[in-house]
Structure 1
């Protein structure tokens, strides 16, 4: 089902600001592997795939909740997995091997980040890459900050540790009049400093960079100031950068590690090919030390953190970062087109709904608080419109009245979802108006 174009998958140089030569610069009627979108109809995928995206809800529900792509895997990644199985290469791992220099090359070419391959360590997934370093650094009863609304699994993974979770909400910036349906947000650096300086203060911060659910790319100045504050108050920072490969064209992703190293802050980065190339179930991620001090911390990780990693995931990651850059670029083009499509459909069919247009990743954050669906739009949209979205309240403080939408699908899936939701919103608003009149 793959297109010939994927045979030339290579990483592009520079940041996420442009598409590499030979990559499609405009969306087509096929996914990044060349598979026609009609073959990605949810009714078809439900008969082929067995992840929770396709099994959690009944067959009449459109699943746009979990961060899994509907797109077909890159043939380069597929072949890497198949070749390892044919070679019966399915044993245990003792280190990152070739993945370390391959990831370092990708980081240098895409983001200008000079990664020492000796600073690259393995973990099963980014959740593990966050929890295990925290075990080494944060004492029992310590305080770990997160900037909400944020990836719900942060709450779940931190339950594994005897720590207190401190929510520090993003600050909402004014939205330009030219984008009346937009949502703008950024790190609240003043609130972060107050929390760092308080007694008791903060032992660690889990940074979401790019930020999920907004698709927000933190500015270099905000990240530099965060690094300075972390160094000043001795706050350990773990930066989750799993969505960074999916930085949209015209925008630039800033890795946190170089800024932390320059400021003298203790920091590590947790990332993976899992979101960029849709291989989360293959269970392989990397933890990257910002400097040698952080590397000494990571060398204390238990050996099982490495040996639990899937060897198939490791080889998929190598193929993704090394060989499947063109596939990634085509995915970005399609995600951008889907994000634009959603903006058009919201303006046309969903009055009162505000939209955080992502600049990285394929997740869109929608504010339904003025749409007449009450305080829990997720529940009504699921039960009445039969569309499963991300539940806003699961993202912590600031998530009330919101939902998250997955855009890594066929455009018609987005159209169908918005049509269903628009019918519900129109009905709810008509009922409210009738009730006010009566």
Structure 2
């Protein structure tokens, strides 16, 4: 089944299994020595050299004391520059606040802007920690199902409008680009959502952490950039961690559109929600300032890999429903047509020695679905796909 890439990409296709299995992070450490992990959303690729150099320089100069940031970290200006350079969005830097990760960003905004029992709309399927956050914080999740359309996954604005009206939602958690389906919402779709938010006075909490992983010809559009009204009701959450593989640096940003919410945030005790690490700020600045060449190579590899996944699934497992993702390094499969009679995650692990995720943690009606992380080398991806096919290929009687 293996088809060699026409041009292996140095630094991305020369990963050894020994090096990967020696990692102490959860993706490769937890599954054990026999299993190939394609579950948690970490990439297998080494940290970008420009980030390593920036961190090493800070450590070599023994500069690990308290930072001198009287007006907030340099991330505030770095975020504003990145948004202007990438998306022509003039995001005021004085409305940016630092947090340790995106989940904390979401939890803080929900804590400040909503109360126990309040309804919050959210696309489903969705990133499991977001759904778990709503449950743990006693916010009533109002699922807005993504529809499986002929040419990809679709968000249904009419369903959103009806659900918000009937449930009295205070907020919408909008994940765009979407995890796990990989959809990139178009300007027309975003404008429909913005009209609904304006009509129902919704706070929009826009998770845009996968923005820089959109594949050609798709383009990410920051929700807050749509109009002054959208800007004034949107809280944007993002980080360099997904697009540059920096999860361990624990660094994210929140851009606050609503004046009242920003004032409420700044009225909190300054260290109540923790403080971002200076090393995380250094890593993020280096990635955003000097990492574009590395990221171009990354996107070349991810584009090739997403097409390879789609090719193998379409030819070897034609009943496994799948759309070519428009962004991210995640593939979302509907295994229900296979009629397995058991969890497809368990089947793939047992018969294919490959660890994926899926099912109910992604929301209602997600049983029978699988998510596969294809951010790895060509050789490792081929082994993952071989395990997937081995586990899910129909037998003679099927």
Q: Normalized against structure 1, the TM-score is what?
A: 0.84
Mapped pair 1:74 → 2:42 = no
- In the TM superposition, residue 393 of structure 1 has moved relative to its aligned partner by 2.7
| Cα distance change of structure 1 residues 283 and 260 upon mapping to structure 2, 3 Å threshold | farther
- In the TM superposition, residue 423 of structure 1 has moved relative to its aligned partner by 2.0
Give aligned pairs, total: 392
Structure 1: distance between partners of 2:119 and 2:66: 35
- In the TM superposition, residue 319 of structure 1 has moved relative to its aligned partner by 0.6
Which of the numbers 75, 88, 95 marks the counterpart of 1:119?
95
Structure 1: distance between partners of 2:372 and 2:171: 29
User: Secondary structure of 1:269's partner?
Assistant: strand
* Corresponding position of 2:281: 314
* Corresponding position of 2:387: 420
- In the TM superposition, residue 295 of structure 1 has moved relative to its aligned partner by 3.4
* Corresponding position of 1:170: 146
* Corresponding position of 2:61: 87
The answer as to whether partners of 1:227 and 1:265 remain within 8 angstroms in 2 is no
User: Secondary structure of 1:312's partner?
Assistant: helix
Structure 1: distance between partners of 2:390 and 2:192: 45
Structure 2: distance between partners of 1:286 and 1:90: 21
Which of the numbers 111, 117, 120 marks the counterpart of 1:144?
120
User: Secondary structure of 1:58's partner?
Assistant: coil
User: Secondary structure of 1:139's partner?
Assistant: coil
The answer as to whether partners of 2:180 and 2:332 remain within 8 angstroms in 1 is yes
Which of the numbers 30, 51, 70 marks the counterpart of 2:25?
51
* Corresponding position of 2:327: 360
User: Secondary structure of 1:167's partner?
Assistant: strand
Superposed structure 1 runs of 4+ greater than 4 Å apart: 91-96, 291-294
User: Secondary structure of 2:263's partner?
Assistant: helix
Mapped pair 1:102 → 2:68 = no
Moved more, 324-333 or 363-372: 363-372
Unmatched runs of 5 consecutive residues or more in structure 2: none
RMSD (Å) for aligned C-alpha atoms: 2.1
Mapped pair 1:29 → 2:8 = yes
Which of the numbers 197, 204, 213 marks the counterpart of 2:165?
197
Mapped pair 1:393 → 2:369 = no
Structure 2: distance between partners of 1:130 and 1:336: 29
Which of the numbers 284, 290, 311 marks the counterpart of 2:257?
290
Mapped pair 1:206 → 2:180 = no
Alpha-carbon deviations, 1:333-378, whole Å to 9, x = none?
A: 1100011111221223223112221111111111222234335211
The answer as to whether partners of 1:124 and 1:305 remain within 8 angstroms in 2 is no
* Corresponding position of 1:236: 203
Moved more, 401-410 or 271-280: 401-410
User: Secondary structure of 1:147's partner?
Assistant: strand
User: Secondary structure of 2:371's partner?
Assistant: strand
Structure 1: distance between partners of 2:316 and 2:6: 23
Which of the numbers 322, 328, 338 marks the counterpart of 1:371?
338
* Corresponding position of 1:6: none
| Cα distance change of structure 1 residues 104 and 305 upon mapping to structure 2, 3 Å threshold | farther
The answer as to whether partners of 1:27 and 1:337 remain within 8 angstroms in 2 is no
Structure 1: distance between partners of 2:299 and 2:6: 9
Structure 1: distance between partners of 2:98 and 2:12: 36
Structure 1: distance between partners of 2:342 and 2:228: 43
Unmatched runs of 5 consecutive residues or more in structure 1: 1-25, 176-183, 434-438
- In the TM superposition, residue 247 of structure 1 has moved relative to its aligned partner by 1.4
Structure 2: distance between partners of 1:305 and 1:318: 25
User: Secondary structure of 2:145's partner?
Assistant: coil
Moved more, 118-127 or 416-425: 416-425
Mapped pair 1:60 → 2:34 = yes
| Cα distance change of structure 1 residues 367 and 89 upon mapping to structure 2, 3 Å threshold | same
Structure 2: distance between partners of 1:325 and 1:301: 36
* Corresponding position of 2:215: 248
The answer as to whether partners of 1:230 and 1:237 remain within 8 angstroms in 2 is yes
* Corresponding position of 1:41: 16
- In the TM superposition, residue 187 of structure 1 has moved relative to its aligned partner by 1.6
Structure 2: distance between partners of 1:337 and 1:301: 46
Structure 2: distance between partners of 1:291 and 1:165: 22
